[in-house]
Structure formats: C-alpha cells, structure tokens
Amino acid sequence: MKKIGHRGAKGYEPENTLVSFQKALDMRVDGIELDVHLSTDDELMVIHDETIDRTTNGKGFVNKLSLRELKVFRINRTYEIPTLKEVFDLVNQDCFINIELKNYDTAEKVVSLIEKYVVKKGWKYDRFLVSSFDWNALQQVAFLNDKIPIGVLTETNLDLALAFAKFIQAKSIHPHFHLLTKENTAQMQEKGLQVFPWTINELEDIQKIKTFNVNGIITDFPNRI
C-alpha cells in the first residue's frame, strides 16, 4: 500500500512548499501530491488555491501575476511559492509525483515539463501521475501524450469516474474516501484501476480504509500510514 504525502507533508509543514515535500521525502513516501496553477507568464506554480490570499502574505490571482511577482510573497513569512520545476529538481529518490491540475490551462505545460524531465533526469513516465477533477484537462493530457499516467479525481460520482477512467485508460482513480467500500474498491481494481483515496488523516479512518485493500492513501500525515 503506497503512502502519498498530500501537498507534501501538510500535517507537519506549510502545504505545497519545498520544505513540506522534503519532509514527505524524509518520511520515505512512495509519492507526493501537489497542485498546480499557471502564472501570467506561463510558469507552473505549485499552489492549491487560485489566489495567493490564504497561503501567502500577498493578495491576488495566481494567473494575474508573473513568476517574478509571485516569488516576492512568502508562505509563513519564510517560504516561496515553488515552481513545478523546483519540485522536480528536489526529488532525487524513488518517489512518484502526483500533479493535480487545478484547471485546463495547465495541461499542455505539465505535459511539456514531464517530457523534458523524462529526458533530463532519465525518469520513466511512471514517476508521474497527473490527476484532476477537470476531466477535460485529463483528456487533453491523454491526447498530447498517452504515456503519461492519469488519475481520475472524484468527490461525488464513483460510477461516472469509473466509466471515464476506463474511457481514457487511466492508471488510477482517486475518490474521496467517504465514497469507498471494500466491494467497490475491488470492483475498480478488477477493471485494472489502482485506487488512491484522499485525504485520510485520522488513524481510525486510515485503519478502516486499509481493510479495503486500496493501492495507496493520500494523507497529510505520511508517517501514520
């Protein structure tokens, strides 16, 4: 069962920062999950919200600010908003990177960056897993490069997500953990999909979901897995 650090190790360090990803790597995660938005000059920025208001000391929409402008602001008075490149450069151990596309516009840039790092670092495509609630964005990724592993995110409709996952030949399905049962987990796996529920933090929930034999757990507290 794979342990996947949500926004790095969000339970211990500020989410989606290099220090948070390093913490997750130190906890020997199998994968890290992160979120991406595009800056106005098309840089892939690792940040969850469409604005910088909640997590930094600045204000404004990510897609209305340039890389230079975004780099001025600080998370917890200390850390910069990382770029996706910076996270790729940080990961030097056997760990996959689950990139969640927060909107359609990021799809093409993420595909290009993955292709670049496959050459630059000699990584295999299975070092990456691109997921999204925006299934059009996933379709665009599959259209641009069908070697990139895809994960279908859903918070509400497992049947629809399963049908779509089969349609685009996804590697995995990422349901909110409340949607899961032992039976539907097995059904998805019988159809060839890996099951990576999110975001499971409480020990009681972790223990319960483990009994469903999921393929991995996305958590803020990787050491609890």
Contacts with ligand G3P, residue ranges (CB under 6 A): 6, 33, 35, 48, 100, 131, 153, 174, 198-199, 218
- Residue type for position 123: W
* Nearer to ligand G3P (CB atom), residue 75 or residue 153: 153
When CB distances to Ca ion are compared, the closest residue is 100
Q: Please tell me the count of residues contacting Ca ion according to CB under 5 A.
A: 2
Interatomic CA distance for residues 222 and 35, integer angstroms:
17
- Lookup: tokens for 192: 């060839």
Q: Does residue 100 bind Ca ion (CB under 5 A)?
A: yes
Selection from ligand G3P, Ca ion, none that 174 binds (CB < 5 to 8 A by kind) is ligand G3P
Selection from Ca ion, ligand G3P, none that 131 binds (CB < 5 to 8 A by kind) is ligand G3P
Interatomic CA distance for residues 179 and 185, integer angstroms:
10
Spell out the residues 6+ positions from residue 215 whose beta carbon is closer than 8 angstroms to its own.
1, 2, 172, 189, 194, 195, 196
Q: Which of residues 30-49 bind Ca ion (CB under 5 A)?
A: 35
* Nearer to ligand G3P (CB atom), residue 13 or residue 100: 100
Q: Per residue, what are the HEC states of 5-69? A: EECCCCCCCCCCCHHHHHHHHHCCCCEEEEEEEECCCCCEEECCCCECCCCCCCCCEHHHCCHHH
* Nearer to ligand G3P (CB atom), residue 123 or residue 133: 133
Q: How many CB atoms lie within 10 A of CB 34?
A: 23
Is position 176 annotated as part of the catalytic site? no
Is position 174 annotated as part of the catalytic site? no
When CB distances to ligand G3P are compared, the closest residue is 198
* Nearer to ligand G3P (CB atom), residue 142 or residue 152: 152
- Residues taking part in catalysis: 6, 48
